[in-house]
């Protein structure tokens, strides 16, 4: 096998076939923060399922109370808005914008407060 474009040659990087160029995603710290909240909401009985969607404009994490419903909460990372209102947006169950901002922690704060109320009940 020659080293000119042959797959499996040591040192050659081959793109994953399902991933589009320029796709927006979550970095490890962001995903850890989101999944930490998700895990605590599952433990509190608020959420049961999640979905992630990635495209060229945005990365989205949606949390569901039941799989067949629309998401109870949706966190969106849209880097094109970084210098405007902030690249993070938290959407409610009916699509309303609950919070926007430049920092993920401040955008997740309303869900953190909801978690505290659920634990107190």
Comparing 12 with 39, the larger pLDDT belongs to 39
Mean pLDDT, residues 105-110: 92
Mean pLDDT, residues 101-119: 84
CA-CA distance, 40 to 31, in Å (whole number)?
14
CA-CA distance, 111 to 81, in Å (whole number)?
22
| Dihedral over Cα of 61, 46, 33, 80: its sign | positive
Mean pLDDT, residues 9-20: 64
CA-CA distance, 79 to 77, in Å (whole number)?
6
Query: Coil, helix or strand for 17?
Result: coil
CA-CA distance, 40 to 20, in Å (whole number)?
32
Indicate the average pLDDT of the chain. Answer: 83
């Amino acid at each position: 096998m020659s080293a000119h474009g042959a797959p499996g040659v040591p040192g050659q990087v081959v793109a994953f076939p399902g991933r589009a160029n320029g796709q927006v995603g979550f970095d490890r710290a962001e995903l850890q923060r989101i999944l930490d909240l998700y895990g605590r909401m599952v433990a509190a009985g608020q959420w049961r399922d999640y979905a992630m969607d990635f495209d060229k404009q945005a990365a989205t994490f949606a949390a569901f109370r039941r799989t067949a419903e629309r998401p109870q909460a949706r966190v969106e990372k849209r880097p094109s808005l970084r210098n405007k209102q902030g690249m993070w947006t938290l959407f409610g169950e009916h699509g309303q914008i609950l919070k926007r901002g430049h920092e993920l922690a401040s955008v997740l704060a309303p869900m953190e407060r909801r978690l505290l109320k659920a634990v107190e009940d």
